[in-house]
Amino acid sequence: MEAPIKLDQNESPYDLPPDLKERALERLRALPWNRYPDLHAEELRARLARAQGWPEDGVVLAPGSNFLVLALAQAARQVLDTAPSFAYYEGAAKVAGVPYRALRLGEGFALPLQALLEGMGEPEGVLFLSDPHAPTGRLFPEAEVQRLAARAAERGWLLVLDEAYHSFSGSDHRALAQQNPSVALLRTFSKAWSLGGVRAGYLLGAPAVARVVQALLPPFCIPAHTGVVLETVLEAPGHARDLALALAAERDRIFRALARHPSWRAHPSAANFLLVRTPDAEAAWQGLLGRGILVRRQDHLPGLEGCLRVSVGAPAENDAFLEAAFALAGAAPP
């Protein structure tokens, strides 16, 4: 589906700056296209490891973190999840053919901590938890994440913290994962790095976990063209940092403006999107689309009746969204 204002996939609203794009293209031109890239993206993994302050043998790079989710599910005896959640955790468990269970978030999208700890009672499995959480935008208390990590270590589980949105919250679970080999992190270039189309994500974990995941990926799975783009952006990390800060400020501005809306309510978010509860998701979605704004319906998910997920766009796009949101409710502009 296309619309002039696209706020449905949590992408960056901006393409890579032209100077970075040009530098990547020059590198791509200079490469011999007849040659295979590194077997397991060794050079890129080394650069990522340096950039992240992580041991090289604990880094796995894949063409999107979705591939890492799939590999982790394939390596698991069972998959535990929260509900609602990022749809591909369940999708991957299905493809992998492993038992899957999801536990409902509580009031205010709180973690069902006790149920999750009990759920990790049986030995061995993978618990996927996005933090900030998708699609609610909630950032969980560090103490609760630490409880889950400790339980994972006790029971031979792996706690996978998906940090797809951490740049927008300033949160970072690297210290926890460094201390506890039962914790692995997933990160992506698709959001704050403005590279959704380039396809790249990575895992930071213990070497033993990285080895298992790497073995489930086919050889040469990072294409040369993805490689040159990553090399280029890793030399200019300030760009992603500044963008994440600007989008977080826009998110907070939209949140504050919606507080004055007569009937729509935004849930607090630490990500680059807002979950917005409306009286009627279908009507709201259609109304926005009629004004050229595409958002994502989430009202099919448990506990998300009436909800839309709205990505944070460029300021003018966010203004258009706010104007439409108020107009649809017959209210004066914000």
Ligand X SMILES: *Cc1c(COP(=O)(O)O)cnc(C)c1O
Cα torsion 51, 52, 55, 57: sign: negative
Single residue of 120, 164, 206, 209 touching ligand X by CB under 6 A: 164
Question: How is residue 180 annotated by DSSP?
Answer: -
Based on the shown chain and the rule CB under 6 A, indicate whether residue 134 belongs to the binding site for ligand X.
yes
Q: Which amino acid is residue 110, in one-letter code? A: A
Nearer to ligand X, 23 or 191 (CB): 191
Based on the shown chain and the rule CB under 6 A, indicate whether residue 86 belongs to the binding site for ligand X.
yes
Tokens representing 274 are 């807002």
Query: CA 288, CA 262: separation in Å to the nearest integer?
Result: 16
Q: Least separation, in Å, of the C-beta of 174 and ligand X?
A: 17
Based on the shown chain and the rule CB under 6 A, indicate whether residue 169 belongs to the binding site for ligand X.
no
Query: What is the C-alpha radius of gyration for the chain, rounded to an integer number of angstroms?
Result: 20
Q: Least separation, in Å, of the C-beta of 92 and ligand X?
A: 11
- Are the C-beta atoms of 268 and 261 separated by less than 8 Å? no
Single residue of 82, 167, 169, 190 touching ligand X by CB under 6 A: 190
Site string for ligand X, 42-71 (x = CB under 6 A): ----------------------xxx-----
Q: How many CB atoms lie within 10 A of CB 43?
A: 12
Based on the shown chain and the rule CB under 6 A, indicate whether residue 162 belongs to the binding site for ligand X.
yes
Contact segment (CB under 6 A) with ligand X among 17-25, 187-195, 223-231, 240-248 equals 187-195
Q: Least separation, in Å, of the C-beta of 86 and ligand X?
A: 4
Based on the shown chain and the rule CB under 6 A, indicate whether residue 139 belongs to the binding site for ligand X.
no
- Are the C-beta atoms of 256 and 115 separated by less than 8 Å? no
Q: Which amino acid is residue 294, in one-letter code? A: L
- Are the C-beta atoms of 329 and 262 separated by less than 8 Å? yes
Q: Least separation, in Å, of the C-beta of 311 and ligand X?
A: 10
| Cβ-count burial 138-173 (b if 16+ within 10 Å, e if not) | bbbeeebbebbbbbbbeeebbbbbbbbbbbbbebeb
Query: CA 287, CA 272: separation in Å to the nearest integer?
Result: 22
Of the candidates 270, 284, 273, 271, which has an alpha carbon nearest to the alpha carbon of residue 329?
284
Based on the shown chain and the rule CB under 6 A, indicate whether residue 269 belongs to the binding site for ligand X.
no
- Are the C-beta atoms of 191 and 158 separated by less than 8 Å? no
- Are the C-beta atoms of 226 and 198 separated by less than 8 Å? yes
Site string for ligand X, 200-239 (x = CB under 6 A): -x--------------------------------------
Q: Least separation, in Å, of the C-beta of 291 and ligand X?
A: 25
- Are the C-beta atoms of 122 and 116 separated by less than 8 Å? no
Based on the shown chain and the rule CB under 6 A, indicate whether residue 194 belongs to the binding site for ligand X.
no
Contact segment (CB under 6 A) with ligand X among 98-106, 141-149, 166-174, 188-196 equals 188-196
Based on the shown chain and the rule CB under 6 A, indicate whether residue 298 belongs to the binding site for ligand X.
no
The residues in 2-21 that bind ligand X, with binding defined as CB under 6 A, are: 10
Q: Least separation, in Å, of the C-beta of 157 and ligand X?
A: 19
Helix (H) or strand (E) holding 184: strand 183-188
Nearer to ligand X, 40 or 155 (CB): 40
Based on the shown chain and the rule CB under 6 A, indicate whether residue 192 belongs to the binding site for ligand X.
no
Based on the shown chain and the rule CB under 6 A, indicate whether residue 157 belongs to the binding site for ligand X.
no
The residues of the shown chain that bind ligand X, judged by CB under 6 A, are 10, 64-66, 86, 130, 134, 162, 164, 188, 190-191, 201
